[in-house]
Amino acid sequence: MGENTQNGTTNGRDSAKAENPESRVDGMYEYGYRKSNYGPDELVTDAHGNPISVVDAMMSAREASETETVTPHLCYYSPRIPGNTGSAIRLCAVTGSILHLVEPLGFNLHDTKLRRAGLDYHDMAHVVLHPDFDDLVTSMPNSRIIAFTAHATKLYTEVDYKPSDILLFGPEPGDIPDPMDIMAGPHVAEQVRLPMRPSLRSLNLTNCASIALYEAWRQLGFKGGA
């Protein structure tokens, strides 16, 4: 009888846990990412909560070129880690910037496990997808491209930023070498770097972008901020 009582207590606890809303929500995620059996479009909704396509939620290249911003644009060339891009989406949403993603990407925007924090409908309205780098250059003819690279000698604080600038970051470190034809090409007006202790390898991509974007916004008087 004691054993039956113990089992009854255990089953009751399991039932209570199953009814706990927080437990149900936690069960939908693995280490901050949505499980693969949940459709990605569930994460993106319109103003009424209806699911929409990720790409449909994005800004077009033409809209980006015609939009007046209070902070420089941010560009990720061939990003590979979805969590970094998700964080960058939210970064641009809160600073009033526009995020340009240049293909090839290391993940699929339609089915990737991007962080949920970066996939709100209104946040995605700050994102532009370019098929290649030439499309970025031609669609933003009035923008100065400032490349952030460890090969630069000039510090990022030594530039006077403008809202029309594009802050360019290359892919996350990996087996593919940095595309120096992109980071040091004729389209680049400035090459700058963030200082680091020489004993350490690198800083997270979106951490770097955050430092750079907020320095630019500081120089511009945090216009539009609260």
Helix, coil or strand: residue 150: coil
Q: Is 170 annotated as a binding residue?
A: yes
Q: Is 114 annotated as a binding residue?
A: no
Q: Which residue has the tokens 């936690």?
A: 26
Candidates 94, 53, 57; CA nearest to 74 is: 94
State whether the Cα torsion 140-142-93-195 is positive or negative: positive
Let me know: does 97 contact 125? Beta carbons within 8 Å. Answer: no
- What radius of gyration, in Å, describes the C-alpha atoms of the chain? 21
As annotated, the binding site for S-adenosyl-L-methionine includes 170, 194, 202
Q: Binding site membership: which residues?
A: 170, 194, 202
